[in-house]
A and B are shown apart, each in its own frame.
Chain A
C-alpha cells in the first residue's frame, strides 16, 4: 500500500484546560486535495497548524512522507520547506516587493542564487497571473492579489504539499473568486493540498476528499459528492444545511462556479 504523504495518529492539542484536538487520525495521499470543513472553533486551523508544527501538538504522531516529524532529530525547517503554507491574512513580508517575497525564501532556504531565484519567482508570479505586479509592495496590492502572491510564494518552493488556512476568509466577496481560481489551477496541476475552508462550492468541486471536523473530532469524511448530498452524520447534515443556506441567501447567483 502506498505511504500517505501526511499521516496524523491520535493527534491532540490542548490550550490550557481546553482540548481543541481530541485525537485526530487522518491521511493525505500524494496529489490528493483534502478539504477540512467545520464550524468555527472546531479546531480546523489548529489541526492544519499542527501539521507543520507552527502550533506544537500536545501529543500524538505526525508522519511526513513516511517519517515521523515529531522526533528530537527532526529538522522542522527542512520539513516546512516541503510543506509550505498559505495564511488567512496573507502574511506577505511587508517590506519586500511581491517578487522579493518569493525570492527571499528561495535564496535563504533553498540556497538558489539571485538569477535562478528571480526566474523561479517570475514563473510563480506568472502562474498566479501577477507578473506585472512583480515590483509592487504588498501595501499596494488588493487582498486578492496579496493572497495570490502568497500562493506563488508557497508554490515557488516546489513543496510536496501546500497547507491552506482559510485562504479566502479575510477577502472581500468579490475578490474570493480570483484566489479560488488560482487554487483550482494548482489542484488540476497535481499539487497535493490540504485546505481549511468555508467555501463549500470549492470543496465540492475541487476536493478529492472532505473531512468534517466537529469539536476536535473527525466526525465524517468521504468524497465531496457523498458528503454534500448524503451526509451520514446528523451534525454534518445540520452544519451543511446551515452553511449552504447562508451561501444561498448571500449569493442568489451561482457566482462560485468556475469562470470559463
Chain B
C-alpha cells in the first residue's frame, strides 16, 4: 500500500480539489479497511481450523500424502503440458498445413471436451484396449495432455506477438528457421507468456482435484473421506481449500519472481 501512496503525482490532490492530507486520509482509511477484512478472514480461518484441529492432527499423515500426490500430479502434468505445448505451439505456426492442421485439431478436441471425460477416457479406455494403468498415471496423463493444448495456444500467441522483423533479421544473418526460433523468437516469446502461463498452472493445480473421481489419493479425495468420517463439511473443506490456495499462491509468486528476473531492460514494460 505504501507504494500506491508514493506513486500519486504531486498535483493529483490539486486537480481533484482534495488536499494532500485528504488524499492521504483516503488511502489510510482504505488501507485500514483492507487490513481489517484480511484480519477478519484470518480470525475466521483460525477459528475453523482450531475447531478442526483434532481432525487434522488425527489424519496428518494421510493429509500430507494426499498433498504430496496433488503436488506430484500437478508438477508432472504442468511439465508434460509445457513440453507438449512447445511442440503444439510451433506446429500451429508451421507453414506446413499438414502439421498445423493436426495441431489445430488436437487443440480443438482437447479444449472442447470436459477434462473429466478425458480422465475417464484414459483411465477406463486404456485398460479396455489392453493397457492396465494406475489411476495416478491416468490422471497425470489426462491433465498433461489437456494442459498441452492450452499451453500450446499460449505459446502460439507468444510466438506470434514477436514482431516479424525479429525473424527477418535472424534469417538475414544466415540462421535457419529453427535456429531463429530457438535463439530469437522463443526466448522473447517465453517472457511474454508468463502471465497467461501463471493462469494455466494455477488452473492445472485446481483441476488435479478431478482425479478424485477415479480414486486417486489426493487432496479432494482425502477431503471427501474426512467429511464422511467426521461430518464437518465446513471445517474439512475450508482446510482443503486453504491447502489448494497455498499451492496456487506459491505458484503465482514463483511465476511473478520469474517474470521480474527475466524482464528485458528497456523493452516491453521492462524496468531499468
Contacts and interface: CB of A to CB of B under 8 A. Distances in A.
Contact of B171 (A54, A92, A104): A54
Give the bracket for the number of chain B residues in contact with chain A.
Answer: 20 to 34
Contact of B165 (A84, A87, A104, A139): A87
B175 A95 contact: no
A87 B165 CA distance: 8
Contacts of B75: none
A7 B266 CA distance: 41
A95 B191 contact: yes
B118 interface: no
Nearest to A137: B265
A84 B264 contact: no
B172 interface: yes
Contact of A78 (B174, B179, B191): B174
A151 to B, nearest CB: 12
B165 A157 contact: no
Interface string A96-112: 00000000110011000
Contacts of A139: 264-267, 270
A105 B175 contact: yes
Interface in B128-165: 163, 165
Interface residues of A, number: 29
Contacts of A54: 168, 171-172
Contact of A52 (B172, B265, B270): B172
B176 interface: yes
Interface stretch (B16-24, B181-189, B200-208): B181-189
Contacts of A91: 163, 165-166, 168-169
B172 A84 contact: yes
Contacts of B187: 95
A104 B172 contact: no
6 contacts: A80-B171, A91-B166, A95-B187, A105-B173, A139-B264, A153-B173
